[in-house]
Homo-oligomer: A and B are copies of this chain.
Amino acid sequence: MQWPSKDVLYTVIFGTETPAGRRFDLALIVAILLSITVLFLDSMSAIRAQFGPLLYGLEWAFTLLFTIEYAVRIYCAKNRLAYMRSFYGVIDMLAVLPTYLAVFIPGASILLMVRLLRVFRILRILKLIRYVNEANVLLRSLNQSRRKIMVFFGSLFILVTLFGSLLYVVEGPENGFTSIPLSIYWAIVTITTVGFGDITPQTPLGQGIAAVTMLMGYAIIAVPTGIITAEIGREMRRDYNNRYCPQCDKSGHDPDAIYCKYCGAEMEVAIEDEAHRH
């Protein structure tokens, strides 16, 4: 077979409209998930003991595969620097780098570093983000309520600091609250209603304060929910209300409205219904 032209490669690798492009994306997703699976199996000591070499080989196979993909992406990118600097460009590089780096660090040496490198390959999962494109409604909602949520977390930070310190005083190291940061960790565990139970108040007073913390968390969990719910509700309403009557120019019509509900004029439907149907 003759080597495909740069443009063809581009439409296949970067594009998602053409059948070839879709097949390529699908193949890539499968490869990513497989490489992640290899990483999972590799982390289970029992399995590594038995299939270590095999997993090692697979790992290198995937690394080479993604290296080639990265190289080709650079080769056929319209603007190479722009791609390499882009979010996905960095991710694509980070997805292959650790394996190469791991070679230069003797496995016997600092264990954490090696483990870290081995696990950084997990970043390959971020390659999937490319294919989650319905996410933007959610992201828009989150983004629009960004400041409110920041304020919320700001007050939450003040709350957990106060309650954590309070329990550090009341319970003290002898009951497991060995430091203020740890007590704040406990307060976060409690106010988010996670409640591991590895650290729990023992004194009646401490338990009383803990109860207040829980009830507070129970009540304020409503706040972010309320913010985002209202936000999403509006997003959805907007998705629905973006039709304007040609005569009275009023909005807020249902997607299936044929006549303006305010002035009775006929409305054009096609586009909106299309937009709405998917």
Residues on B with beta carbons closer than 8 Å to the beta carbon of A165: 110, 113, 116, 119, 122
Q: Given B117, B188, B222, which contacts A229 in the complex, CB threshold below 8 Å?
A: B222
Residues on B with beta carbons closer than 8 Å to the beta carbon of A264: 258-259, 264, 266
Residues on B with beta carbons closer than 8 Å to the beta carbon of A154: 122, 128, 132, 135
Interface residue? A130 (CB, 8 A): yes
Q: Shortest distance in angstroms between A116's beta carbon and chain B's nearest beta carbon? A: 5
Interface residue? A236 (CB, 8 A): yes
* Bound: A165/B254 CA distance, A: 46
Residues on B with beta carbons closer than 8 Å to the beta carbon of A190: 194
Residues A254 and B254 in contact, CB atoms below 8 Å apart: yes
Residues on B with beta carbons closer than 8 Å to the beta carbon of A166: 113, 119
Copies of chain A in the complex: 4
**Interface-facing stretch out of A1-9, A51-59, A210-218:** A210-218
Interface residue? A87 (CB, 8 A): no
Interface residue? A100 (CB, 8 A): no
Interface residue? A79 (CB, 8 A): no
Task: Jot down 26 A-B pairs with beta carbons below 8 A, ordered by A.
Answer: A44-B181, A115-B168, A116-B165, A119-B165, A119-B166, A119-B168, A128-B158, A135-B151, A135-B155, A185-B207, A185-B210, A192-B215, A195-B197, A221-B221, A222-B224, A225-B225, A227-B232, A244-B273, A251-B256, A251-B273, A252-B255, A253-B261, A256-B256, A256-B261, A256-B262, A258-B264
Known: A185-B208, A256-B256. 19 other contacts (CB 8 A): A45-B173, A119-B169, A135-B155, A138-B155, A153-B219, A188-B214, A193-B193, A196-B197, A222-B225, A222-B229, A226-B230, A226-B233, A230-B232, A234-B237, A251-B276, A258-B261, A258-B262, A259-B260, A259-B261
Query: Contact residues of A with B, CB < 8 Å?
Result: 36, 39-40, 43-45, 110-113, 115-117, 119-120, 122-123, 125-126, 128-132, 134-135, 137-138, 141-142, 147-156, 158, 161-162, 165-166, 168-169, 172-173, 178-182, 184-185, 188-190, 192-198, 200, 204, 207-208, 210-211, 214-215, 217-219, 221-234, 236-238, 240, 244, 249-264, 266, 269, 273, 276
